[in-house]
Amino acid sequence: MVFLVISKRMKRLVAIIGPTATGKSRLALHIARDFNAEIVSADSRQVYRYLDIGTAKSTTAEMSTVPHHLIDIIDPDEDFSLAQYQQLASEAITDIQGRGRLPVMVGGSGLYVWAVLEGWQIPKVPPDMEFRRRLERQTAEAGGERLYQELVKVDPVAAQEIDPRNVRRVIRALEVNHRAEVPVSTLRGKELPPYNSLIIGLTANREELHRRTDARVDDMVNRGLIDEVRRLVEMGYGFNLPAMSGIGYRQIGMYLRGELELPQAIEKIKVETHRFVRQQYNWFRLKDERVHWLDIEGDVEAEAEKLVTDFIRGE
């Protein structure tokens, strides 16, 4: 146990980032217990209630020992935007700091992480439901690639930051362009937040990451992922919802509808998770000098503990 007095004036934030299955949540719990800290989730799926196994949430017992923020805050059929996350995360961080504790932001959603750490000025453009429905119909008829190419034409900068398969984000970028009549990328500036950040990244070689992600998928299935998805459907949450389109939920849904055999669905989850890891490294670059990268096959807890100790004492 590390005993350090954390001043209310210090305005510090620790962020633990990296690809999935690297042990970010476990390290965050260790740091939180040792440094009188509270955890702020930066996971775009863990905001949803009832999506537990497939989003790899910490257990109820783990969350009872350390305060967690921005987990289980909306139902699966509710809209949730990056701007909402940024505001809620900033409020949680300020509240934690104001009580003399250390906020530890942890997650693999690069969009969420950098929106907070870099202070993105996110366009406040209200939704245009008629416009969205029209683009959704176009996608259903012609596929998402044509929609993505439309975004490339009107805002190539924004298109580079968006996975073409993430139809929801493609539509939102086009929606902002339509309502504001300028590219979304030109509306987003940055204003650094009023605190210093220590960014710890967890990484490993590709073979080890694939081994860990595959083992995690098998564990999720063994712990009841199929029953979790079936229960969500019984509660009225359809597979057309963005919350139900995430890796794991989408493939198990295909199995429940008879479109895939279970072994095929599991293999698809693993393949998509490998792809997602590569995508995460587009957000979390190993050459980013702001990030203190730690190899998960080393003594991560000791290395991270030293980094945090030095960070706090350096006030």
Q: What is the CATH number of domain 12-121+190-313?
A: 3.40.50.300
- Range with the poorest average pLDDT among 205-219, 260-274, 275-289: 275-289
In tens, the pLDDT along 217-260 reads 999 999 999 999 999 999 999 998 989 989 999 999 999 999 99
Domain boundaries, given as residue ranges, for the chain: 12-121+190-313, 129-187
User: Confidence class of residue 315 from pLDDT cuts 50, 70 and 90?
Assistant: low
pLDDT above 50 (res 3): no
Q: Cβ distance 54 to 44 under 8 Å?
A: no
Reported as a single tens digit per residue, the pLDDT across 157-190 is 778 777 787 787 888 888 878 776 666 666 567 8
pLDDT score recorded for residue 160? 77
Lowest mean pLDDT among 38-42, 76-80, 142-146, 219-223: 142-146
For residues 294-298, average pLDDT = 96
pLDDT at residue 20 above 80?
Answer: yes
Question: E strand or H helix at 13, and its extent?
Answer: strand 12-17
Pick the closest to residue 78 from 234, 230, 242 (CA basis): 242
Distance CA 102, CA 109 (A): 21
HSE of 267, CA atoms in CB hemisphere, 13 A: 5
CATH assignment of 129-187?
1.10.20.140
Within 181-299, residue ranges assigned H as helices are 184-187, 206-222, 225-234, 249-256, 262-283
85-122 pLDDT, tens digit each: 999 999 999 999 999 999 999 999 998 999 999 998 87
Cβ(204)–Cβ(18) under 8 Å? no
**Is 249:238 a contact under the CB 8 Å cutoff?**
no
What ranges in 202-248 are assigned the alpha helix state H?
206-222, 225-234
What is the pTM (predicted TM-score) of this model? 0.85
The pairing of beta strand 196-203 with beta strand 189-190: unpaired
Spatial contact of 242 and 166, defined as CB atoms under 8 Å apart: no
